[in-house]
């Protein structure tokens, strides 16, 4: 029988009852795992993090580093008012939505180095999700926001950090063609690039440089291979890297349970293929290596094929001694190409001189680096959206929109495994400038929706304020005065979806009451915007500051134009 216990107020108590902070202060290097249901935030915090008032939310403080678990397609990582959205690339959307509860997340803290890593834990596999690089000026404490149900800190064996990658974001330099990436290994260990997915096992401190190159089709044909990923040219001092892990996009690779299903004689959707291809598609990782995934090693003498040490669900692992060009390759088997691969749908918005804009939709394999694609679309704004789905090579896909009637070119397009050098738009949609919302749908030849996204387009930019006004907004005005100064442009340009997000967040952190939120939601867009900003502004500095932060997070484009960023 459960019985509520009295919990007297004291200075260390959080005003929001779902927030929890551990007692143990952490410095040095630590690893722990969290298992729970309905865990909204998890991470670390300084002890003096604010605990009362409308700015008490854990994931909005500059004294916390948090995973925000509130999205269907991935996670958001927040520190202060900066947030990074991380889509889940190692499983398809349906598998992610159907993920077992409770979920399990690992965290590795290297306090002296200013590193906090988050890992998705599945069995014995830890997949790096995100890495914070910061400066910890005092001890940190594990901290959480729990909406309901349970939270458990698990006892784990001592983590061998040599087997778990630390994430890093490389320096990106623009080349005559494309971009290059560079990073300084601080010492030995396993390091994963956040932009390309490459993982390096370094033996010592060294300078690393790498870039994507064009595959030589003649070399591939001579070895009866086809590209299974980008070709990376890697430069590093001799013997500084002894292992390389390259991302692949084959969804069934590295799954031991597939061996059990075939050995037991169970049927599968690939049963019409015949025994040799059954062995190819449904096998233990060690049996999968020779026939499915390997690594092409390009030198001045040609191409050699390196058999992997192992294949995980996300990477092909090889031992290396001499660095040059490396890329995942596949057997050139026609029937194998009928299997789906993990793909991504990328969106870029380009404004035209006349009152029109062009939305470019690009279909690519999931292991193409986004940074390489962005470099070829510098005149367009990248639209961050959940992008991962599955495509069949050689199949024809069609793009649809809601509202219907928009001009879409071409009518259909065939998907192919494009690994550069050019990443042109697969489809283009012409949008009237006043379009606020459009749903984009990619459909298979069977007219099945394989990807869709409700896109909330940025409003037409208001006239840019004078630089002196921008400085004044950032330095001299109070929070209420900031809202008052941007009020007309906010009312004219904020979109309905952003308003709904602001209402949700401000209601959740008790800036506005349930009754106020319900009343504002019934209004048309402009009236809704007017009533929201006026209601919050009248509540004082804390409430106004909270709304400003929420707007900057949910619509950085408009916030920048208003001079709030």
Burial 171-188 (b: 16+ CB within 10 A, else e): eeeeeeebbbbebebeee
Tens of pLDDT, residue by residue over 296-309, are 999 988 999 999 99
3-state DSSP call for residue 141? strand
Name the DSSP letter for residue 256: T
412-414 and 381-383 beta bridge pairing: unpaired
CATH number (2.60.40.2660, 3.60.15.10, 1.20.900.10, 3.40.1160.10) of 341-456 reads: 2.60.40.2660
Give yes or no for a contact between 79 and 92, defined as CB atoms under 8 angstroms apart. Answer: no
Domain ranges, ordered by start, for the chain: 19-154, 166-251+275-334, 341-456, 479-562
Residue range 157-214, pLDDT digits in tens: 666 656 678 888 899 998 877 899 999 998 888 999 989 999 999 999 999 999 999 9
DSSP 276-322: HHHHHHS--HHHHTTTTEEEEEEETTEEEEEPPSEE-SSEEEEE-SS
Beta strands in 352-477 (DSSP E): 356-365, 381-383, 388-391, 396-402, 407-409, 412-414, 427-432, 437-443, 449-456
What percent helix, strand, coil does the chain show, rounded to 5?
20, 35, 40
Per-residue model confidence as pLDDT tens digits over 278-295: 333 333 333 344 357 999
pTM, 2 dp = 0.67
Tell me the per-residue pLDDT of 377-410, one tens digit each, with 9 for 90 and over.
999 999 888 788 889 988 999 999 998 889 999 9
Classified by CATH at the fold level, domain 479-562 comes out as Death Domain, Fas (1.10.533)
- The tens digit of pLDDT for each residue in 101-123 reads 667 888 989 888 788 989 888 87
Q: Give the CATH class of 19-154.
A: mainly beta
Buried b (16+ CB within 10 A) or exposed e, 305-333: ebebeebbbbbbbbebeebebbbbbbbeb
Looking at residue 47, what is its pLDDT? 85
Predicted confidence (pLDDT) at residue 262 exceeds the cutoff of 80: no
Closest CA to 457 of 426, 487, 494: 494
Check pLDDT > 60 for residue 40.
Answer: yes
């Amino acid at each position: 029988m459960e019985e509520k216990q009295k919990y007297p107020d004291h200075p260390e108590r959080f005003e929001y009852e779902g927030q929890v902070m551990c007692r143990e202060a952490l410095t040095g290097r630590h690893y722990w795992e969290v298992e729970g249901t309905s865990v909204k935030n998890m991470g670390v915090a300084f002890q003096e993090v604010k605990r009362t008032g409308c700015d008490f939310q854990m994931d909005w403080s500059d004294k916390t580093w948090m995973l925000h678990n509130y999205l269907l397609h991935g996670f958001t990582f927040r520190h202060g008012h900066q947030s990074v959205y991380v889509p889940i690339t190692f499983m398809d959307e349906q598998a992610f939505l159907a993920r077992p509860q409770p979920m399990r997340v690992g965290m590795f803290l290297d306090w002296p180095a200013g590193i906090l890593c988050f890992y998705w834990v599945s069995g014995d596999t830890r997949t790096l999700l995100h890495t914070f690089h910061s400066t910890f000026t005092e001890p940190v404490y594990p901290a959480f926001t729990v909406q309901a149900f349970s939270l458990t800190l698990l006892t784990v064996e001592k983590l061998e950090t040599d087997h778990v990658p630390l994430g890093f974001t490389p320096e990106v330099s623009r080349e005559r063609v494309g971009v290059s990436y560079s990073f300084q290994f601080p010492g030995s260990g396993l390091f994963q690039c956040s932009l390309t997915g490459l993982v390096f096992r370094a033996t010592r401190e060294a300078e690393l440089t790498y870039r994507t190159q064009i595959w030589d089709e003649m070399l591939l044909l001579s070895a009866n291979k086809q590209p299974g990923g980008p070709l990376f040219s890697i430069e590093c001092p001799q013997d500084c890297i002894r292992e390389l892990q390259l991302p692949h996009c084959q969804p069934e690779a590295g799954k031991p349970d597939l061996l059990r299903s075939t050995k037991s004689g169970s049927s599968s959707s690939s049963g019409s293929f015949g025994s040799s291809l059954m062995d190819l598609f449904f096998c233990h990782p060690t049996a999968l290596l020779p026939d499915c995934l390997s690594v092409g090693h390009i030198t001045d003498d040609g191409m050699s094929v390196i058999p992997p040490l192992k294949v995980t669900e996300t990477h092909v692992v090889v031992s290396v001694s001499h660095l040059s060009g490396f890329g995942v390759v596949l057997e050139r088997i026609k029937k194998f190409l009928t299997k789906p691969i993990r793909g991504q749908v990328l969106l870029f918005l380009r404004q035209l001189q006349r009152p029109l804009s062009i939305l470019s939709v690009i279909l690519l394999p999931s292991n193409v680096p986004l940074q390489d694609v962005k470099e070829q679309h510098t005149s367009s704004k990248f639209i961050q959206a959940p992008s991962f789905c599955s495509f069949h090579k050689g199949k024809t896909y069609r793009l649809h929109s809601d509202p219907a009637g928009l001009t879409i070119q071409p009518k259909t397009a065939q998907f192919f495994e494009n690994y550069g050098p050019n990443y042109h738009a697969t489809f283009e949609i012409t949008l009237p400038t006043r379009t606020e919302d459009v749903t984009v749908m990619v459909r298979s030849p069977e007219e099945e929706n394989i990807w869709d996204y409700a896109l909330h387009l940025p409003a037409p930019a208001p006239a840019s304020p004078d630089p002196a006004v921008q400085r004044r907004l950032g330095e001299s005005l109070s929070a209420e005065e900031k809202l008052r100064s941007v009020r007309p442009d906010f009312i004219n340009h904020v979109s309905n979806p952003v308003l709904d997000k602001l209402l949700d967040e401000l209601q959740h952190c008790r800036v506005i009451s349930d009754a106020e939120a319900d009343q504002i939601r019934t209004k048309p867009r402009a009236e809704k915007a007017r009533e929201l900003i006026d209601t919050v502004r009248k509540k004082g500095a804390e409430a106004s500051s909270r709304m400003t932060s929420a707007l900057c997070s949910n619509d950085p484009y408009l916030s920048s134009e208003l001079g709030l960023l």
